[in-house]
Amino acid sequence: MQKMLIEGGHVLNGQVRISGAKNSAVALLPASILANSPVTIEGLPEISDVGTLSDLLEEIGGTVNWEGQTITVNPENMVAMPLPNGKVKKLRASYYFMGAMLGKFKKAVIGLPGGCFLGPRPIDQHIKGFEALGAEVTNEQGAIYLRADELRGARIYLDVVSVGATINIMLAAVKAKGKTVIENAAKEPEIIDVATLLTNMGAKIKGVGTDVIRIEGVPELHGCRHTIIPDRIEAGTYAIAAAAQGKEVIIDNVITNHIEALLAKLREMGVRLEESDEKLLIAPQGPLKSVDIKTLVYPGFPTDLQQPFTSLLTKAGTTGVVTDTIYSARLKHIDELRRMNASIKVEGGSVIVSGPVQMNGAKVKATDLRAGAALIVAGLMANGITEITGVDHIDRGYENITDKLRSLGANIWREEMTEKEIIQFQNS
């Protein structure tokens, strides 16, 4: 087990390249199950969630070949192998095996997913969608059993706007008989990316990127080649780090339109930004002004950037209020930031950050993926050394984050933890 160390105070400068989007990758891989011939996906990020899903595809009989960042999944010998335990619990996106296996085999057994603990994360809307398509869904000892004689298109209204439910219902519906309409669908760019792959596989999907998606089922889907979109949350994290501790940082391979809500807030804080084709320059100038943020579904401010943005607010004057309307309990980073000298109050559902304060290095724990990103941003700004445990969470979603930050001038590295440190970490 490793820990991450950061000597704060070094100025970030230079260029960093963004990897393929985690939240696309984790849906594109299960989508390959639906094809009857090999699917090639280019530009996958080297993160542990991708590794885990690739193992799961092999567990159900697929063959997976890697060539650099390009993966080819051959689904021809896949079977409806139950996956009630084990790797499915390591990540959230294993729930996409439900929709994809139901769509392909009309049956699936998948354990309830893991992923970041952000408070309750029900999957009732996924199940409502599967049932509307004609599946019988039961929860038996923590695993979801799905069976259908036949999947039939249906009109499905999502009670909450859900990324996972929108994609999962698309996966189950593309081979169903007849028309499916998903109303109140989510509009995240990753949903468009998955629909693009499915369309290249022969699916008939309209309206993706709006809140009404229409699918006309087809009997067969074939293999294809697809290039993944860049990770807007990774890009946003580097943009926040650059605003916190950068001079002139260029973010390469970014679709700036995908992070417009963040960029608007950075501009309000007084950060100079320049956008060009696939590139974004971040050049903070002078003291930062505090702003308020409220997370919303896309294209609103993303919940996945709320935690790192909270770290940035510690450097701004004078008071910023953060409200997460998607995951109100996504607050585990706050105590750790306080250890580093942040002045943060939690009142009702809001986080009130007072600044500017000088953060100090401390021993802190990443309790989830973006809490880890928040601690890295704080560590880059802090006096002295910050030691972060819980690095496994960070590795679920950030490719080579230590190398990328080092190339920008940060002094960040990893060390193996001693046995005593591992025991302390496990008991904390």
Residues contributing to the site for ligand UD1 (CB under 6 A): 23, 26, 92-93, 120-126, 160, 162-165, 186, 303-304, 326-327
Residue 91 binding ligand PEP, by CB under 6 A: yes
Contact 167, 189 (CB under 8 A): no
122 is annotated as contributing to ligand binding: yes
CB of 49 to ligand PEP, least distance (A): 6
228 is annotated as contributing to ligand binding: no
Which of 151, 369, 382, 408: binder of ligand PEP (CB under 6 A)? 369
Which of 145, 168, 397, 399: binder of ligand PEP (CB under 6 A)? 397
Closer residue to ligand PEP in complex, CB, 90/404: 90
The piece of 67-75, 86-94, 265-273, 385-393 that touches ligand PEP (CB under 6 A) is 86-94
Residue 123 touches which of ligand UD1, ligand PEP, none (Cβ within 5-8 Å per kind) = ligand UD1
Residue 124 touches which of ligand UD1, ligand PEP, none (Cβ within 5-8 Å per kind) = ligand UD1
38 is annotated as contributing to ligand binding: no
Closest to 166 (Cα-Cα) out of 153, 177, 157: 157
Residue 189 binding ligand PEP, by CB under 6 A: no
> Which tokens is 416 given?
């193996």
The piece of 55-63, 88-96, 129-137, 144-152 that touches ligand PEP (CB under 6 A) is 88-96
Catalytic residue among 28, 29, 35, 116: 116
The catalytic residue positions are 116
Residues in contact with ligand PEP by CB under 6 A are: 22, 91-93, 115-116, 304, 369-370, 397
